[in-house]
Chains A and B, each alone.
Chain A
Amino acid sequence: MTEISTDDASSVAGRSPNRLRRFLTSYVFSTDHKVIGIQFLFSSLIWLGIGGLLALAVRWQLAWPWSNMPLFGNALFADNGGQISPEFYNTLFTMHATIMIFFVVIPILSGAFGNYLIPLMIGAEDMAFPTLNMVSYWFMWPAFVCVIAMLMVPGYGASSGWTSYPPLSVLEGATSTETAQTLWVMALLFVGISSMMGAINYLTTIIQMRAPGMTMFRMPMTVWAMFVTALMQAFALPVLTSALLMQLSDQIFQTGFFLPENASANNMASASGGGQVLLWQHLFWFYSHPAVYIMILPAMGMVSDMLACFSRKPLFGYKPMVFSILSIASLGFIVWGHHMFISGMSRMLAVSFMVSTMLIALPSGIKVFNWIGTMWGGRLHLTTPMLFSVGFVSMFIIGGLSGIVMAAPPVDIVIHDTYYIVAHLHYVLFGSSILGVFGAIYFWFPKMFGRMMSDGLGKIHFFLTFIFLNGTFFPMHFLGRMPRRLADPYVYDSLKDLMPLNQFMTICAFCMGATQLIFVGNFFFSMFFGKRAEENPWRSNTLEWTATSPPPHGNFLTQPVVSRGPYEYSHPDRESDFWPQTDRV
């Protein structure tokens, strides 16, 4: 068993091959789930920065169309006078969504926190398949390479939206970014392989490697959420993978899975055809709707744990919480058609998808009520992770309610593919998932790096992020007549009066981007100079807090034995207000 501590970093300076080898095996090609989790964390955070800059460029164009983009305009588009071209605008939002979904939210939740927390929280020394785990991280890199390679082909990136609907994404001549489309498909294939390996690993680990006494219903909500997420990935990913292979074959081998008879674009007839255009949408959303829950369930789990810990109270309705996650996951597989109400699919079928979509609001509502029930009557400690968790709940309510609005097909006729949808998805993905991720970083940072993050800076970070995120995304609810993905909405006279509101949102977005520098500064400063963390700085019950901060390779010095559930806070028979799961009495 090799011991890893932060002090090892100083020894890297040595050039001897032995030390280099040790550095490589313990930090780069490590099979330790904690190192792999931190690798996922760092790469996802870097992509979060890149994806955020792309979003700012999109916002710039919507506020001041065809004007010189600050900083990058002259460098990238000198011959256009620094303007964003309409083709490049399409690339910007395509790559923003692709990066945020496949390189940030999914890997940071499942990859980073799933990897780091599952073995620690169930009392295992590592994952069931450590090498597979390492390979799953390194399969992200071919995807990264594909995206970087897109910068060297025409168009600088895919430009047919993150949904990549054929025929636009397949037909020669429809876009000017055909090579990038192929790279896009390959990037997603690699991400899918990575996620699949992770999912198999998590399922096996959670089923097989729980510590003695850790029954399924003594697992923290984080582990339950990761378990259900892994189940969803295992069942949904094969569909995406086969659909991607079909699209790849349409692009490269001129097959016609997704091309209609006599397909043509830009006066170029396609050699192939006879397929079904809507087939791609069905297959894509069969994965991508469950993916919506893959992108939020882990955050829900972590937020549940943080809320209970900082309310110093048992989680309200633990079993209903588990069952609502399970029902969200199972209903999540039969609601994909609500993305396609007006796509041209059977209009009768829309009705059944509407009913299942309405039903899925129920378990989501129960979760919100249970979170509020958890805080009710508690002794709240409003630390940074707690504020982000409450922010998660608050934003999830808005995102969930706007979801009910668009679940109604007659209403969706109007707001489909408009900024109302953009408001909804950002309230769920940024307002909820990313706030949950920030909270989780502040919460588990002491365990990961052995030092505390600054609480004061964290609170400023939360306050400004919360204000600006609402300033950016809330007004979008009032743009139900402005279609998405327009490089210049103001070519329509009827949309001209929306420009001042768009400029307001863009200013908020830039401020929100700038606010994240506080987080970056706090993160790196605390990593090296933060206050040293004790084993259990938050006086939490779950198993990871009985290991040292950071835990060694192998995690626990002795085999933990679990005696109770994870939420025994403020038990009336005890003097202290928490009761670790491993305490015998």
Chain B
Amino acid sequence: MSRLWSLLFYCVPVLATVTFLMAINGVWPFAACQMPPSLSTAGETIDGLFNGIHVLAVMILLGTGGTIGYVLWRFDHRRNPEGKAKYFSHNSALEFVWTLIPAIILVFLAFYQMNAWSENKMVRPTTMVSGIETQTPPMVLVKAKQFGWEFHYAGADGVVETADDLYVEGLLVVPRGQDVVLQLESRDVIHSFFVPELRLKQDVVPGMRQFVWFNANETAEVDILCTELCGWGHYKMKARLRIVEPAEFETYMEGLEATYEPPLASATKQPTSMSVADAGVTRD
């Protein structure tokens, strides 16, 4: 019997490792489970961290889980019917080592990933405006509502929340190879803006104005998902993101301006005031 239990507990780290390797190498049936290929360089950094921490985790799991399987077989009382258990209650050297090594690994991990976080969420891209480096203004104001997404393009003046904004529902078109900054606001409850391919997610909080940015390096059309429970229709709150070549983007915007009919005033009514909470981002 002890063999069975030992085998069962060996299975945990072994099967976990095998399925993990199958998933990162895209082997059936786990090919479907991979994250979709990243469409941005920031996404590749995040994937590197994701896989790196997992490799570390799997190694720790193999070590500890394997030891559990071994212990159950090796120290079963039926293998050793006469003797007694060894009487010891601690081992200072061993304990020092297994405290120090994980501590070093954890502190290393903590510092190693800070750059990726700050690039994705803290340091907004900049552009040169008449020789002065300024933060890239938002190209699109994204408004989340129960249960859909509105995209307000900045229009001719290049500034969102002005009269010449162009409003489209359900489809966001952005150019490839450019820094795109989005301004996120909510009309009602909390939503969350999630594009798996861009490794981009940000809760959209009513009463707050937040910025996210990305630089897509391939053209594609992908899903935008809501990942914060927002009511009964949460599951169907979807939109599409289309990444196109810059030239095609120009054409799209021109076409949009040419045929644009402003929707009813009530539909795009701006809140009269917006209590802006700073999301750690300095604004211009």
Known contacts being A86-B232, A405-B53, is A314 close to B72, with CB within 8 Å?
Answer: no
* Closest residue of B by beta carbon distance from A573: B87
Known contacts being A342-B192, A463-B8, is A382 close to B235, with CB within 8 Å?
Answer: no
Measured as residues with beta carbon below 8 angstroms from the partner, the interface class of chain A is 35 or more
Known contacts being A265-B189, A278-B277, A366-B99, is A165 close to B229, with CB within 8 Å?
Answer: yes
User: Would you give the 0/1 interface string for A258-276, flagging 1 where the beta carbon is closer than 8 Å to chain B?
Assistant: 0011111110000000101
Instruction: Determine whether B156 belongs to the interface, using a CB cutoff of 8 Å to chain A.
Output: no
Partner of A417, one of B77, B94, B228, B231: B228
Contacts of A501 in B (CB 8 A): 29, 32-33
Within the complex, the shortest CB–CB distance from A50 to chain B, in Å, comes to 22
Within the complex, the shortest CB–CB distance from A454 to chain B, in Å, comes to 16
Contacts of A161 in B (CB 8 A): 229
Decide if A378 touches B75 in the complex (CB within 8 Å).
Answer: yes
Q: How many inter-chain residue pairs (CB < 8 Å) link A and B?
A: 324
Decide if A379 touches B53 in the complex (CB within 8 Å).
Answer: no
A109-117, A202-210, A353-361: which one contacts chain B? A353-361
Chain B interface main SS type: mixed
Partner of B57, one of A377, A401, A484: A401
* Closest residue of B by beta carbon distance from A264: B188
Within the complex, the shortest CB–CB distance from B75 to chain A, in Å, comes to 5
Interchain CA distance A416-B85 in the complex, whole Å: 45
Decide if A261 touches B57 in the complex (CB within 8 Å).
Answer: no
Known contacts being A265-B146, A266-B188, A351-B114, is A175 close to B231, with CB within 8 Å?
Answer: yes
Instruction: Determine whether B194 belongs to the interface, using a CB cutoff of 8 Å to chain A.
Output: yes
Known contacts being A174-B146, A489-B235, is A494 close to B36, with CB within 8 Å?
Answer: yes
Instruction: Determine whether B103 belongs to the interface, using a CB cutoff of 8 Å to chain A.
Output: yes
Instruction: Determine whether B260 belongs to the interface, using a CB cutoff of 8 Å to chain A.
Output: no
Number of interface residues, chain B, beta carbon within 8 A: 106
* Closest residue of A by beta carbon distance from B2: A382
Interface set, chain B 1-47, CB cutoff 8 A to A: 1-2, 5, 8-9, 12, 15-16, 19, 23, 29-30, 32-36, 45-46
Interchain CA distance A314-B91 in the complex, whole Å: 12
Contacts of B85 in A (CB 8 A): 311-313, 377-379, 569-570, 577
Decide if B274 touches A394 in the complex (CB within 8 Å).
Answer: no
A127-135, A294-302, A473-481: which one contacts chain B? A473-481
Instruction: Determine whether B148 belongs to the interface, using a CB cutoff of 8 Å to chain A.
Output: no
Interchain CA distance A526-B121 in the complex, whole Å: 58
Partner of B280, one of A346, A404, A494: A346
Instruction: Determine whether B133 belongs to the interface, using a CB cutoff of 8 Å to chain A.
Output: no
Decide if A570 touches B103 in the complex (CB within 8 Å).
Answer: no
Contacts of A572 in B (CB 8 A): 84, 87
Decide if B35 touches A348 in the complex (CB within 8 Å).
Answer: no
Partner of B207, one of A261, A317, A355, A478: A261
Contacts of B228 in A (CB 8 A): 165, 417
Known contacts being A175-B232, A492-B225, A567-B89, is A261 close to B274, with CB within 8 Å?
Answer: yes
Instruction: Determine whether A30 belongs to the interface, using a CB cutoff of 8 Å to chain B.
Output: no
* Closest residue of B by beta carbon distance from A368: B64
Interchain CA distance A312-B222 in the complex, whole Å: 58
Instruction: Determine whether B238 belongs to the interface, using a CB cutoff of 8 Å to chain A.
Output: yes
A41-49, A218-226, A407-415: which one contacts chain B? A407-415
Contacts of A320 in B (CB 8 A): 90, 95
Within the complex, the shortest CB–CB distance from B105 to chain A, in Å, comes to 9
Contacts of B188 in A (CB 8 A): 167, 171, 174, 263-266
Instruction: Determine whether A515 belongs to the interface, using a CB cutoff of 8 Å to chain B.
Output: no
Known contacts being A167-B206, A175-B232, is A377 close to B75, with CB within 8 Å?
Answer: yes
B162-170, B174-182, B197-205, B250-258: which one contacts chain A? B197-205
Decide if B87 touches A313 in the complex (CB within 8 Å).
Answer: yes
Decide if A483 touches B225 in the complex (CB within 8 Å).
Answer: yes
Instruction: Determine whether B131 belongs to the interface, using a CB cutoff of 8 Å to chain A.
Output: no
* Closest residue of B by beta carbon distance from A577: B84
Decide if B57 touches A168 in the complex (CB within 8 Å).
Answer: no
Partner of A176, one of B120, B207, B232: B232
Known contacts being A351-B114, A377-B85, is A168 close to B16, with CB within 8 Å?
Answer: no
10 contacts between A and B (CB under 8 A): A86-B233, A174-B231, A265-B188, A317-B95, A347-B281, A361-B102, A376-B75, A410-B45, A414-B199, A491-B236
B interface residue numbers (CB < 8 A to A): 1-2, 5, 8-9, 12, 15-16, 19, 23, 29-30, 32-36, 45-46, 49-50, 53-54, 57, 60-61, 64-65, 67-68, 71-72, 75-77, 80, 83-91, 94-95, 98-99, 102-103, 106-107, 109-110, 113-114, 116-117, 120-122, 146, 187-190, 192, 194, 196, 199-208, 210, 222-223, 225-236, 238, 271-275, 277-281
* 9 closest Cβ pairs, A-B complex: A260-B207, A478-B33, A347-B280, A377-B86, A410-B116, A265-B188, A401-B57, A570-B85, A314-B89
